[in-house]
């Protein structure tokens, strides 16, 4: 897959994104689109790269190999290939403009709230410093959003109750999401993932490295 990336010319913060992407390429990070301003973007398809991995693998690889948190896991930044004739890049992450280095305590060293509101983790909405656990929770909210807003391929629907997530204040949004975690009746697929991401029916306390493998296994089985 090839993009032509020129939008970064207008924004100086993309200098940082370009540096991270070059470092990710040099360190063989999997499942993250390799592009830089002024250059043609290519997603490589070697056997140990995108071919056998998905977006969660990309997030974990980015973190473990270059110590970087994505910090904007959202529906627009998870790319899924629907072309049956080209299976070399089934799924991968894009857009590192909000990415930041991870500190030793597992949190990002960057200050301020970041992310796309509808997909942000509950405790991130309440001002907690961003950690890899927030990003993994965001994967749950992406799947939740898709299930709520799409009947099937190409069939979207408006759901005003959840569309409010785009504009209510962050504390109110955190409360709405807590309600989903605790009480919302969900389809079986989402309910199983909810139990993995929120094992006590509420946001986690502390970091759990096992969540990567648990979520990968869940998505593999479907």
pTM for this prediction: 0.76
Which has more pLDDT, 115 or 89? Answer: 115
Residue 117: its pLDDT value, please? 92
Which has more pLDDT, 91 or 159? Answer: 159
Can you list the domains of the chain with their CATH numbers?
1-101 (1.10.510.10), 114-210 (no CATH)
pLDDT value at 34 more than 70: no
Q: How many CA atoms lie within 13 A of 45 on its CB side?
A: 9
Query: What CA–CA distance (Å, rounded) separates 184 from 194?
Result: 10
Q: What is the mean pLDDT of the chain?
A: 76
pLDDT value at 43 more than 60: no
User: pLDDT tens for residues 56-111?
Assistant: 888 888 899 889 999 999 888 887 666 566 555 566 777 888 888 887 655 555 55
Residue 41 confidence class, pLDDT cut points 50, 70, 90? very low
Residue 48: its pLDDT value, please? 32
Query: What CA–CA distance (Å, rounded) separates 144 from 162?
Result: 10
Pairing of strands 100-101, 68-69: antiparallel
Task: Rounding to the nearest 10 degrees, give the CA dihedral for residues 2, 92, 139, 120.
Answer: -40
Contact 21, 32 (CB under 8 A): yes
């Amino acid at each position: 897959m090839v993009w032509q990336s020129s939008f970064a010319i207008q924004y100086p913060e993309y200098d940082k994104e370009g540096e991270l992407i070059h470092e990710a390429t040099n360190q063989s990070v999997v499942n993250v689109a390799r592009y830089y301003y002024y250059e043609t973007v290519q997603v490589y398809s070697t056997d140990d790269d995108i071919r056998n991995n998905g977006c969660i693998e990309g997030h974990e690889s980015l973190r473990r190999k270059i110590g970087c948190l994505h910090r904007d896991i959202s529906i627009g930044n998870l790319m899924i290939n629907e072309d049956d004739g080209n299976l070399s890049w089934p799924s991968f992450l894009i857009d590192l403009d909000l990415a930041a280095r991870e500190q030793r305590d597992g949190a990002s060293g960057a200050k301020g709230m970041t992310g796309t509101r509808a997909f942000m983790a509950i405790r991130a909405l309440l001002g907690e410093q961003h950690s890899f656990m927030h990003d993994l929770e965001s994967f749950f909210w992406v799947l939740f959003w898709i299930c709520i807003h799409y009947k099937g391929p190409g069939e979207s629907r408006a759901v005003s109750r959840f569309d409010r997530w785009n504009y209510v204040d962050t504390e109110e949004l955190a409360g709405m999401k807590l309600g989903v975690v605790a009480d919302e009746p969900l389809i079986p697929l989402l309910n199983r993932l909810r139990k993995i991401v929120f094992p006590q029916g509420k946001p986690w306390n502390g970091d759990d490295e096992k969540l990567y493998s648990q979520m990968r296994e869940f998505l593999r089985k479907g």
